Structure 1
Amino acid sequence: MERWNNKPQPEASEDSEDLELAEPRPRHYWLYSPGPQASEWDEFSSESIMAIGWDDLDDLSTYPSREAIRQALNVDGAGGSQTNATLALWQFQNDMTVGDIVYAKEGRQKIVGRGEITSNARFEPERESYRHVRSVKWTHIGKWDHPGDAVTKTLTDITKDHDYVEKLEALITDEVDTEQLVSPSTAPIYDKAAFLSEVYLSETRYVRLRSLLGRKKNVILAGPPGVGKTYAAKRLAYSIMGTKDPSRVQMIQFHQSYSYEDFMMGYRPTENGGFIISEGPFYRFCEKARADDADRPYFFIIDEINRGNISKIFGELLMLIESDKRGQELRLLYKNETFSIPANVHIIGMMNTADRSLAVLDYALRRRFGFFELAPAYESAGFAQWIQSADNPMLNRLVSVILDLNREIIDDPTLGQGFAIGHSFLSQPVGNADEAWLYSVVEDEIIPLLNEYWFDEPVKAEQWADKLRAVVA
């Protein structure tokens, strides 16, 4: 769903009639620090606001450009380039809009809240500090372990980092889809053209992938880190449904302790010290699909499918998921009833090919799934369009170095194609591909990955680290 941007528009003139309406804008997602180590979080969450500092500055709406903010910061004695501060202040005032989602963080390790922006930016000079304010409906307040280390900036637009956003949504909202929840009757149309405009995949490969899922009912998207497997899986489901209807898509994540009882059903303790049979997400999803029109497809998405013990998790379902066994019934382990998997249920798994800690997938699973490789798409038309729109020479040079790096990784007999650096590392919103962000991607994401790849060849890892640092220094 799209909204009208509330960013202030230039004053109308005789030749500016086309500026009367703002451009349509999709929802954005932001990572935000409510003071150092979330020092202001108690106040902000209780007052349903978010606010940022730099209190020596006047009302941010009075600054017509980023450069004006940068100059004001330097005049006030901050010194330095103030790149991150300038960007945060400008985005807080001009780029954020009502309906955007904000994740509040505590340092680099914790998320403490999630909310929806409900007002334009305003200046409250009567406040002792943090005078630049927006109203926020904080829908979730608590404390969650951040997946990895969060960036240290006060405000970061993370909209284009689709995998990251979806991880945060699953972490905080219990697997709510990142798309705004809509009723099936009003869900927007989503077709092949929409898929190809958002996922860096050729039309020929999309047709092949869609045909594979239709034939096998079960597909695993395999690829190295950062190729957008999760994002592609959901968009594939939407494109087959013909609409963005998250009510027919569910996502879970396997891990080493995940079991049949978590997946299908099992006994759970009660408050009274007894036990009760509890149905798992896959059982409930199949029953929901069975009750619907059989011609309406449903999609069950499993992240990190190779992290789980497949035989332990699927149990007797391993036979029932086969495409030619759909509709056949087996008696369940924990219930005195028979169960079948409806023909309109499709399973999409994701597998990180660079995870050396995982065993090779069970051959029984391989026979039941089609496998589709997703590779880095730096040379695709979609990524080329993003590079052009970003208009950042440093980003262009970094892509060139990563292409050379990937050739080295692919040619390495101990690594190969499955360890290449994915394009999602460098997929960010237009206007946010600044030097500080690129430096963080290199230093905090790519170089640690190379140190892991070549842990027994530290000289090679350091050589490539130097080449990458030379671009963003």
Structure 2
Amino acid sequence: MAALAEPRPRHYWLYSPGAQASEWPEFSASDIMAIGWDKLDNLASYPNREAIRQALDVEESGGSMRNAVLAVWQFQNEIALGDIVYAKRGRREIVGRGEVTSGGRFEPDRASFRHVRSVKWTHTGSWEHPGDAATKTLTDITTYRDYVEKLEALVTGDVEPGPPLPATPLPSYDRAAFLNEVYLSDTGYDRLRSLLLRKKNVILAGPPGVGKTFAAKRLAYSMLGVKDPSRIQTVQFHQSYSYEDFMMGYRPTETGGFTLAEGAFYRFCEEARADDDDRPYFFIVDEINRGNISKIFGELLMLIEADKRGQELRLVYKNETFSVPANVHIIGMMNTADRSLAVLDYALRRRFGFFEMSPGFGSDGFTRWQQEAGSPTLDRLITAVVDLNRAITNDPALGQGFAIGHSYLTLPAGSDADDAWLYSVVEDELIPLLDEYWFDEPTKAEEWAGKLRSAVA
């Protein structure tokens, strides 16, 4: 038997019943809310936002188009029974409050405003809105708890409890939590955080095993203040990754035609744009130097610059303009030991801050973990790897970018660093890596293989 879905928390919406509430007398008397865009058919017939966009007036563009598409989609698909709607006139007046009592329906016989829902308007009147209200036709204000409470107190005289929190509150995460998990120095964290805030885009570069992917997500958590995966998205670039995957492009349909599909970064930016500008979002790109940067980013190479945030350019595939919101941050990861990769695209290099991640064997966090592990074999192996890294760094054919990262010798919390595990790390991971590094110097590879084996013998 399938498990029942968790009930959706109540949402709160700000709504304009026509320009300057022109339709409010009818809507309030008839216990309905409705939206225009009357050239659209039954909204239930549109499978996604792209289908709505294509059906709207092609002369609409930029922010007006995005707002129109979002309002239509939310009216039909995201408002739910029991949600609370605040009707407004302009930006300074609330004229009503009601509870949604039906799904969306199409009433083609109406002269206008044919897309309708039933609403039990519990309060009608005139209340001065606190500050300036959003100008859009429909806005989900659920996440703005203080704002919702102000409206509830203003109109009803009571403060209803805000939208219920998730069953398990998001765990907090801060600088101290980051330094406890990521083996980076205090000053290193402060510099990395400052760089990301200033440039909006950073690349974590380093050899294998320094925890670049692990650090990227936890850097985002530390800047969010909580472990909130809903504001983080991760993709991985590869040689076949394209602009169509990243931003948008035409995809084949089951009927043999093609439809314009939004890519991962486009959708992420629209989610961030719909949220509060003060709430940061983080887009993480693994193996960022494996993709064809100019092909993937296209016109975004300009828009992602810190001082170009908010500026709009017309998209290749859509008759609309697009900008990268200021609250979107990009974190890329680059493996400096991959011989197969060409020099990083200079256009990308200029737009990103680079942070070099090195093996963290000497960091306070790793030293503390090593002491807690209490393994003489682990201690010997760490000493051998530190010496090995010195030899790799001093090798003109290799260098620091090929050092052995601390992640090779780091177990998940709660695990034991037993000798069998350490032996496997040496035989199955480190020695094959050395054979690759010194493929033209087998004697040197064998010498260091012997030192590592002696450490775990």
Q: If the length of structure 1 is used for normalisation, what is the TM-score?
A: 0.61
Is the CA contact 1:265–1:279 (under 8 Å) kept in the aligned structure 2?
yes
Distance 1:184 1:276, change over 3 A: farther
Q: 1:460 aligns with which of 438, 444, 451?
A: 444
Quote the Cα distance in structure 2 between the aligned partners of 1:190 and 1:184.
18
Q: Please state how far the C-alpha of 1:211 moved relative to its aligned partner.
A: 0.6
Letter in 2 for 1:231: F
Q: What residue is the counterpart of 2:231 in the other structure? A: 248
Q: What residue is the counterpart of 1:414 in the other structure? A: 397
Distance 1:268 1:248, change over 3 A: same
Is the CA contact 1:326–1:343 (under 8 Å) kept in the aligned structure 2?
yes
1:455 is paired with a residue whose SS is coil
1:186 is paired with a residue whose SS is coil
Please, what is the CA RMSD of the aligned residues?
A: 1.3
Poorly superposed stretches of 4+, deviation over 3 Å: 182-185
- Asked whether 1:318 is paired with 2:301, we answer yes
Letter in 1 for 2:228: D
Is the CA contact 1:200–1:377 (under 8 Å) kept in the aligned structure 2?
yes
Quote the Cα distance in structure 1 between the aligned partners of 2:455 and 2:182.
27
Q: What residue is the counterpart of 2:96 in the other structure? A: none
Percent identical across equivalent pairs?
77
Letter in 1 for 2:348: L
Q: 1:381 aligns with which of 364, 370, 373?
A: 364
Structure showing greater Rg: 2
Letter in 2 for 1:454: W
Q: What residue is the counterpart of 2:318 in the other structure? A: 335
Q: What residue is the counterpart of 2:279 in the other structure? A: 296
Q: If the length of structure 2 is used for normalisation, what is the TM-score?
A: 0.63
Q: Please state how far the C-alpha of 1:467 moved relative to its aligned partner.
A: 1.1
1:413 is paired with a residue whose SS is coil
Q: 1:437 aligns with which of 416, 421, 432?
A: 421
- Asked whether 1:216 is paired with 2:204, we answer no
Is the CA contact 1:405–1:464 (under 8 Å) kept in the aligned structure 2?
yes
Q: What residue is the counterpart of 2:71 in the other structure? A: none
Distance 1:277 1:431, change over 3 A: closer
Quote the Cα distance in structure 2 between the aligned partners of 1:321 and 1:185.
35
Is the CA contact 1:390–1:431 (under 8 Å) kept in the aligned structure 2?
no
Q: What residue is the counterpart of 1:225 in the other structure? A: 208
Letter in 2 for 1:456: D
Q: 1:447 aligns with which of 431, 434, 442?
A: 431
- Asked whether 1:235 is paired with 2:218, we answer yes
Quote the Cα distance in structure 2 between the aligned partners of 1:431 and 1:317.
44
**Structure 2 stretches of 5 or more lacking a match?**
1-164
**Structure 1 stretches of 5 or more lacking a match?**
1-181
1:372 is paired with a residue whose SS is strand
2:196 is paired with a residue whose SS is helix
Q: Please state how far the C-alpha of 1:347 moved relative to its aligned partner.
A: 0.1
Q: What residue is the counterpart of 1:469 in the other structure? A: 453
Counterparts of 1:269-280 in structure 2, within 5 Å, are: 269-280=252-263
Q: What residue is the counterpart of 2:264 in the other structure? A: 281
Distance 1:351 1:434, change over 3 A: same
Quote the Cα distance in structure 2 between the aligned partners of 1:364 and 1:431.
43
Is the CA contact 2:380–2:456 (under 8 Å) kept in the aligned structure 1?
no
Distance 1:183 1:461, change over 3 A: farther
Q: What residue is the counterpart of 2:388 in the other structure? A: 405
CA deviation map 1:18-39 (0-9, x unaligned): xxxxxxxxxxxxxxxxxxxxxx
Q: Please state how far the C-alpha of 1:271 moved relative to its aligned partner.
A: 0.9
Quote the Cα distance in structure 2 between the aligned partners of 1:338 and 1:184.
39
CA deviation map 1:413-472 (0-9, x unaligned): 011110000000000145521111111100111111111111111111111111111222
Quote the Cα distance in structure 2 between the aligned partners of 1:215 and 1:197.
25
Q: Please state how far the C-alpha of 1:185 moved relative to its aligned partner.
A: 8.7
Letter in 2 for 1:452: E
Q: Please state how far the C-alpha of 1:298 moved relative to its aligned partner.
A: 0.2
Quote the Cα distance in structure 2 between the aligned partners of 1:356 and 1:468.
24
Distance 1:183 1:306, change over 3 A: farther
1:414 is paired with a residue whose SS is coil
